[in-house]
Structure 1
Amino acid sequence: MNSTRLTQLHTDIDERVRVIRTGHTDWLCGKGCDNCCKRLADVPQLTTDEWALLQEGLAALPPDQLGLITARIAALGPRPARPVTCP
């Protein structure tokens, strides 16, 4: 990545952080914090109750919509563990 693109990336990240902090004053997004960047890129960790609610919602979908979701998930294929870089 050349320095111009890297500078633009840093500018984009700074702007995104600014938007987040403005809209969500309770979020502790700031310099040196990378937990969200690492955690949000992972497969979501859901509680048993959250999984049950998700299953209930999926079961209520029309078959064609559920089929589309299933196909999109299958198209992702297996993803090996890898280092995750903040977007």
Structure 2
Amino acid sequence: MKHYVYFPYHITPEYEKKADAYKFFSNAHYMRNYEENKGKQNFKYHEIPAYLSNKELNEVMNVHKDRKALREMYLKGYHTSPDDVTNQ
């Protein structure tokens, strides 16, 4: 009786060649995609918590600056009026 050695499919030379080819093409595809998208934004900047907190802070600061400017105009007696006051 002859003794046969059975190899699983993943040990055969054909499978190893296919696996090596897949690794090569997978790496080549990854590197090509990486080089194409290297400088591009891949996330939504307006959804980042740091951006949202900075935006809220800027809005608060702008409101404060606007109130300060209005207070200064009020103290100086500056106001706007229509051009033709007599027809009202």
Q: Please confirm whether the aligned pair reaches a TM-score higher than 0.5, indicating the same fold.
A: no
Write 1 or 2 for the structure with the bigger share of helix. 2
Task: Name the larger-Rg structure.
Answer: 2
Q: Per chain length, whose mean CA-contact separation is higher, i.e. which structure has more relative contact order (CA < 8 Å, sep 6+)?
A: 1
Q: TM-score, normalised by structure 1?
A: 0.28
Q: TM-score, normalised by structure 2?
A: 0.28
